[in-house]
Amino acid sequence: MDIRLGGTVGRWLPALVLLAIGGQAMGSTLNQNVSWTIDRSGTSTKYRVVAYGDSIYAGYNGSISKAALYAAPTVDAEYISAKWNADIESVRRAKSGAVAKDVYENKIVGERSYMQHSSTRMVTFEMCGNDGLQARSSFKSQTGTCNYSGIESAISSCRTYVARAMDYINANAHPNAKLKVISNLYYPGYDADNVQSSCKDANTGATVNMRSVFLPAMARMNYWMCEYARQKGFKCADSFAQYMAADYDRNGDGIVDSEAIRYIPGESESNYVNRISVTLRSTLRDANFKLVSSSSSYDYIQSDDVHPTYTGTTVWAGIWGGSSGSVTPRYTSFPDGRSPIWNRYGHERMGWALSVYNPAGPN
């Protein structure tokens, strides 16, 4: 999609671009909303998938005006369309840069009407990434004695608003919604964080390894996303497991690495965090180098080292509102439940992870 701007808007665009770039770094927010329908040949029946979140579900690609058409929720809509032989409207109500509280209050609560429509069959959300990124940025800038309170606050806020979001969706989504799913966090910048801090730990008097601080914190966030999902009738798409380990058994323990690090329903927080940050830490890999086999890898993270990679066109998504339209399916069937590119891009992998929970039918 080619969008041309002229006149006053064109003259202001460079300033807006600079504002957005700075805003992403400082935690400002940008609404990026789209509604695109997978228009399947031979059917006029249409159902809706509603996705709330931040820049991940937005399909953010560095632009303040455009976003990836095939962000994870729309990838999943393509899977549902084939499974149900129906048109699927993928409604993405997202706010790039938003922390969990903002996603909850201004998207899930503020824009609840989208999930209240009778055609809604699935509601999904993701949040907490910006809480973590902001806490990480603040910690990295510290000198003197390390203060871990910002990280703890991010974890607490994530827990609070994930739970509230699930309760609110349970109470407000249309009764026709058959599936509710949360996607947890992958670890952007995993390799880049393998450096020492500028601050010193109060107990040891030494600097700390950034990754050793942030990995357990992220694991705690992810644990509660999946654990609350178990408690409150949601499914948990474990994006951390999908992104952060190889799709084969690298350490010889008899389990595929990406399966070994998945959340286990009912396990304790301490067990999960220890398994991720200690026992199986050696199997983790930066998602820029996702190993899908012993001889093949793909880059799941864009050049900003934050957002998932994607394929396909971009659509108008920001500044003064989003866009809507329809596209024909890229793939009309998935004989083994996976598209030919399911593991080649970050958004394709996340969309597939959502799709494994899709009901057999819409009713």
Selection from 148, 337, 155, 351 nearest residue 242 by Cα: 351
Report whether 287 contacts 300 (CB < 8 A).
yes
* Residue count of the chain: 363
Show Cβ contacts of residue 201 under 8 Å, excluding neighbours closer than 6 positions. 145, 146, 207, 208
**Residue type, position 18, single letter:** L
Location of structure tokens 């499914």: 235
Report whether 49 contacts 80 (CB < 8 A).
yes
pLDDT tens-digit readout, 256-283:
999 999 999 999 999 999 999 999 999 9
Report whether 218 contacts 187 (CB < 8 A).
yes
Using CB atoms within 10 Å of the CB of residue 291, give its burial: 0 to 12 exposed, 13 to 18 middle, 19+ buried.
middle
- Half-sphere exposure in the Cβ direction for 320 (13 Å, CA): 4
Quote the pLDDT of residue 32. Answer: 96
pLDDT tens-digit readout, 141-167:
999 999 999 999 999 999 999 999 999
Alpha helices in 109-148 (DSSP H): 129-140
Report whether 337 contacts 295 (CB < 8 A).
no
Quote the pTM value: 0.92
pLDDT tens-digit readout, 6-31:
332 333 333 333 233 333 433 478 99
- Provide CATH code, domain 21-355: 3.40.50.1110
Selection from 225, 217, 222, 103 nearest residue 151 by Cα: 217
Structure letter (DSSP) for residue 248: S
Query: Rounded to an integer, what distance in angstroms lies between the CA atom of residue 357 and that of residue 126?
Result: 16
Selection from 42, 53, 40, 41 nearest residue 89 by Cα: 40
- 354 three-class SS: helix
* Under-50 pLDDT residues of the chain: 1-27
Over its C-alpha atoms, the chain yields an Rg (Å, rounded) of 20
The CA-atom distances, in angstroms, between 348 and each of 68, 128, 309, 343, 363 are 11, 21, 8, 6, 26
DSSP-derived secondary structure for 33-93: EEEEEE--TT---EEEEEEEESHHHHTB-S-SSEEETT-HHHHHHHHHHHHHTSEEEEEEE
- 182 three-class SS: strand
Query: Rounded to an integer, what distance in angstroms lies between the CA atom of residue 339 and that of residue 75?
Result: 10
Domains of the chain: which residue ranges?
Answer: 21-355
Location of structure tokens 């665009």: 13
Query: Rounded to an integer, what distance in angstroms lies between the CA atom of residue 74 and that of residue 88?
Result: 9
Alpha helices in 233-340 (DSSP H): 239-244, 257-260, 269-274
Beta bridge partners of 181: 124, 235
